[in-house]
Amino acid sequence: MKSTLKLLLIALIVSVAGSANAQRVLLGPKLAGNFNIYNQKGLTGTYNGLGLSVGGQLDVLFNKSVGILGNLTVFDMKNFSNSQTANQVTTDQSYSLSYATIDAMFQANFSNYYIAADHHWELN
- The string of pLDDT tens digits covering residues 62-82 is 887 788 888 888 888 776 777
Mean pLDDT of 7-15: 63
Q: Write b or e for each residue in 59-71: b if 16 or more Cβ atoms lie within 10 A of its Cβ, otherwise e.
A: bebbbeeebebeb
Neighbours of 52 (CB within 10 A): 13
Tell me, what's the pLDDT at 12? 59
pLDDT, tens digit, 9 for 90 and up, residues 75-118 = 887 767 777 777 888 877 777 778 888 888 888 877 666 566 65
**C-alpha to C-alpha distances, 97 to 45, 75, 104, 106, nearest whole angstrom:** 18, 8, 23, 29
User: Whole-model pTM?
Assistant: 0.49
Query: From CA 59, how far away is CA 110, in angstroms rounded?
Result: 16
So what's the pLDDT on residue 118? 59
